[in-house]
Structure 1
Amino acid sequence: MKNAIYLAKSHDCAANLAGEAYLMSLPHEHVLYLWVNDPCIVIGRYQNPFNECNLQRMDDEGVQLVRRQSGGGAVYHDQGNLCFTLIGDKEQSSKEENFALIIKALATLSLDCELSGRNDILLNGKKISGNAFQTTATKFCHHGTLLISSDLSVMGNYLTPSSTKLASKAVKSVASRVGNLKEGNQEITNEMVQDALIEAFKEMYGEAEVQEIDFTTFPAAQQNYHRFGDRSQILKETPQFTHSFTHRFPWGEADFRILVEQGVIRDILMFTDSLDTSIVSRIKAILIGVPYERHAIEAVLNKSEQGDCTDLLTYLLDSFSS
């Protein structure tokens, strides 16, 4: 089959991305894949989730963390956002052609959108679509978001990182002024945008069968699920970074620096004017090798019987808070 259109029945973002990876392995010349996710934060391939997300709040409110294989910045998804993927032969496909298809489809819904310089699509100056790309030996994959009626009021709750001071070479997201397509057409729905994209795809490439597929039960996708949705795997792929703070405690001032690698505390550098210099070796003994996650550090705090170490651990945990 030359062309194919797939509609995801699942709202699990990691499963849907695993499904996308499967679709890239198929021999079709052109594929349109449309998918909608439950609330989640999707970070780019080379991003640091500790820098991009409020992980504690996400855990508290059941917002999934997902890492995609393409580049770009962190984005928030919910069911008011329609995701699209266009897959084509590497030598024949281009993002320019794909953008033309998307903008043409939106124009049929009386939405006058334009492409910006950062590979975003704008409506009345607001970003309604972010895009990212991935190239394999034979395929070019272009996927993006289309904000239709997303709850933009909660986006900052999860994309605003904690007050933790981090230093990393990871790619950082670029803040943008975002909006919904509903601001340009109050009657618009996910189904209307979906249908417009399908028609534009058929007009550009010819007829194609529309197939629904549930990637939460599809074996080839489930084998790949861990690449996108396994929390420990996501943290393990985080680039090395440092977490630092300076604070005066009752027992003295501490300039405290943690080296985190693959989501685990690997080393600690501490400068202090404390009269008890053993604090440096004692804090290293209880923290090195511990996962850089709130619950793991809380477990260390709960076992601590040393007042100065307890002070340090409490302050460290407070820096994870929003």
Structure 2
Amino acid sequence: MIHFKRDFNFMGARRVAAALSIILLLVSIGSLAINGLKLGLDFTGGSLVEVSYERPVELERVRIKLREAGYQDAVVQTFGAANDIMIRMGEAHDPQLGENVLLALQDGEELRITLRRNEFVGSQVGEELREQGGLGLLLALIMVMVYLAFRFQFKFSIGAVLALAHDVILVLGFFSLFRIEFDLTVLAAALAVIGYSLNDTIVVYDRIRENFRIMRVGGPVDILNASLNQTLSRTIVTSTTTMLVLVILALFGGEMIYGFAIALLVGVVVGTYSSVYVAGNILLLLKVSKEDLIPPPKEEEEIEQIP
């Protein structure tokens, strides 16, 4: 295990961290209110065209041909065999769209291309998925709050849920601000961010609870600093190894996995930050104390004295 210096005054910067979080939240909420999310075909509906090449072809070559033909936002991916290509577009459905795409791809192409499917994907399913996804996020936060209230204490559950809401809003705000397409894979990543951030927060909270019970000297700020320093090695190693995998996925995973990898990458960075500053800051604002975590004394049974 890698060990790091363990005398950082994390809570000394809590006011700066609180100001930073408030600014980021305001920017994210403002962008979501003004720009909204750039919803993908899964939510908005559009056209789906499938073609089959005679031999495997580079996807970038297909994308260039489509852009030259005027289909700027086409999403290109393989499915099944390497020569089978699926093209998703936000275009209004046209029975001739498949033929037009086929002509654009066949122009100057030596390989024979066959049109396999041309159909419309309705937005009704997308609206249902959007509603179910939002309900899923809300239900996850409620269940987390209930679990932590039983596992730790009510103040801890409030801190964890607010930290998770902070993380999800910042991830959504990032996608809104930079106009990155939001599809089902990104929604799945947002749910995964809740799991990752919650796991990190629980590790920190568990150490805070333990230190509140065993440390005889120091106030809440000192106890939080000690707990964060004790979990620092684990936090850095876990976050670093996870981010390395996500960077590789974002760079080499292809167009379909890009949004998922970016959402998780932003979520890991934000989740690590919130586990250190947001979750701890909220505990201090709620005035957590040793009395909150000391288990109630067991009632001693009265023993009758025999004269």
Q: Shorter chain as normaliser: what TM range? A: under 0.3
Q: Relative to total residues, which structure has the larger helix share, 1 or 2?
A: 2
Higher Rg of the two aligned structures: 2
Q: TM-score, normalised by structure 2?
A: 0.23
Q: TM-score, normalised by structure 1?
A: 0.22
Higher RCO by CA contacts (8 Å cutoff, separation 6 or greater): 2
